[in-house]
Amino acid sequence: MPEKPVVFVTRRLPGAVEARADRDYDCRWNETDAVLGADDLIEGAKGVRGILTCSTERWNREVIEALPDEVEIIATFSVGFDHIDAAAAEAKGIIVTNTPDVLTEATADIAMLCLLGASRRVHEAQAMLREGRWERWNPSELLGPGLQGKNLGIVGMGRIGRAFATRARAFGLNIHYHNRSRLAPEQEAGATYHEALSTMLPEVKFLSLNCPATAENADMLNETTLGLLPKGAVVVNTARGALIDDDALIAALKSGHVAAAGLDVFKNEPAFDRRYLELPNAFLLPHIGSSTIETRDGMGFRCLDNLDAHFSGRPAPDAVNR
């Protein structure tokens, strides 16, 4: 019987995923489940052919170039792969794979939760209840903007953006979107396309970021772009924290130009900007967009599918750098 390929797994994973990984591979587990730094990543990769990692680990150029030559593939337990220098990996002959498709529905659900939580002032309402400040029903208390008939702008109409648009339509929202290219009519489903972000922002009461983080769109929501939104707009981000200039959004939330924000992702998470915690109009979640049993199992199985394909001599189906 051939030896199982040795795989370095940088985080503990759902039980069903770990069971399959142990069945098919000689796994080197990070038993502590601590987030590993550069030295530990390089050390853990010694003597392995594959790496199964998460978005918590940073595989920058220096780490990639220091990896042993035996490493053939890095499978990340995420759709985004901005934590991996894919170009450096390709230059070193290392395949990088991600987990598309499986997060779509769960993340779109959380985007809807963030939109509702922010617009209906859920954080403030829960705080009032939990702190014993709810004395009676008040006809003018905790009022927020309704969704029906309003315009929602979606930045990034990939799988998740389109799934979110489907949910939003059911709540009576009109869909506008900004994307690198216009969708086919059947995918657009009546949505209004804006080639430039600047033309969409003044038209929308609600804005949702659903695009990948790239060098080109870092801080895409900043003082200038926030200023283009109508006063009292609601901002949602379930994509990547790097898309938002925190100073600008916090200032807009304090001034009331942005009425509320629903955020599931942050820069430098979990060491996010603690000023958000002081804002009653910020509805905050700890990056739980994919937190369903089915989704997390599906992500792990997708990683293992890519490893299986590679080690059996077939192309990894979700390679992002080849």
- DSSP secondary structure of 229-268: SPTTEEEEE-S-GGGB-HHHHHHHHHHTSEEEEEES--TT
CATH topology of domain 104-284: Rossmann fold (3.40.50)
Q: In the β-sheet with 95-97, what is the strand arrangement from edge to edge?
A: 26-29, 6-9, 50-53, 73-76, 95-97
83 labelled catalytic: no
Q: What pLDDT was estimated at residue 1?
A: 57
203 labelled catalytic: no
Q: Which residue in 20, 72, 269, 275 is the catalytic one?
A: 269
For the chain, residues with pLDDT lower than 70 are 1
Q: Which residue in 194, 240, 302, 310 is the catalytic one?
A: 240
Q: Specify the domain boundaries for CATH 3.40.50.720 within the chain.
A: 6-102+293-311, 104-284
Residue with tokens 């790239």: 214
- How far apart, in Å, do the first and last CA atoms of the chain sit? 31
Q: Are 239 and 115 in contact (CB under 8 A)?
A: no
Q: What pLDDT was estimated at residue 80?
A: 87
167 labelled catalytic: no
Instruction: Report helix, strand and coil shares of the chain as percent, to nearest 5.
Output: 35, 15, 45
Distance CA(242)–CA(268), nearest Å, equals 8
Distance CA(306)–CA(316), nearest Å, equals 5
CATH superfamily for 6-102+293-311 is NAD(P)-binding Rossmann-like Domain (3.40.50.720)
Strand-pairing partners, residue 59, are: 84
Compute, in degrees rounded to 10, the torsion defined by CA atoms 78, 82, 85, 86.
Answer: 60
